[in-house]
Amino acid sequence: MKHPIKTSESDPAFLEEITEEAGAEKILMCFNCKGCSTGCPVTDVVPQYNIKKLLRMSAMGLRDRVLNSEHLWYCTTCFRCQERCPEGVKTVDTMLKLRSIAVKNGVMLPAHKKIAEYVMRTGHGVPIDEQNRKKRKELELDELPGTVHSCPEAIEEVRQLIKACGFDRLIGFDQPSRA
């Protein structure tokens, strides 16, 4: 069932926040030609996905609807829509700004929190596994890359950086000793 938009849902401060980003104010130039949504590869998988709709809701200041929309996370950032827009609307840059606002407000998909937790625990979103160690050796690379994997003591610095931005609280991470 579709939910009609109420004027009370519109938050002008949301639009101000989005348009802090250079170029994001261009979402107000959108004239609804659908050039961005046509040909978006995500729609092959999720037909309801519509970048134009998300941007239009943002321009209307519909903070809660936008930040709580799963569609916010579907874009692959291929930039096809941004290159096509005849008005030069920064579709992807604006999408990234919306994601950033969502994360600052603690809105993330569980899978994203899980990846962030891996970074806190191991220094990597995708920690190395046996298969990749083996592959690296076959390619005559060091078995471990020159990251926290080969310099485990650096994990404390990674954690300090993440904590300094308060990101650990956003993802609900409170057990650094599990690494």
Contact positions vs ligand SF4 (CB under 6 A)? 30-36, 40-42, 51-52, 55, 75-81, 84-87, 89, 91-92
Min. distance of Cβ 43 from ligand SF4 in angstroms? 7
Q: Which amino acid is at 17?
A: E
Min. distance of Cβ 123 from ligand SF4 in angstroms? 29
Cα dihedral sign, 84-90-94-96 = positive
Which of 65, 84 has the CB closer to ligand SF4?
Answer: 84
Which of 1, 31 has the CB closer to ligand SF4?
Answer: 31
Which of 89, 162 has the CB closer to ligand SF4?
Answer: 89
d(CA 74, CA 46): 9
- Residue 117 makes CB contacts below 8 A (sequence gap 6+) with 171, 173
Min. distance of Cβ 82 from ligand SF4 in angstroms? 6
Within the chain, residue ranges assigned H as helices are 12-18, 51-59, 63-67, 80-84, 91-104, 110-122, 130-138, 155-164, 167-170
Which of 75, 98 has the CB closer to ligand SF4?
Answer: 75
Tokens at 70, concatenated: 């799963």
Min. distance of Cβ 159 from ligand SF4 in angstroms? 32
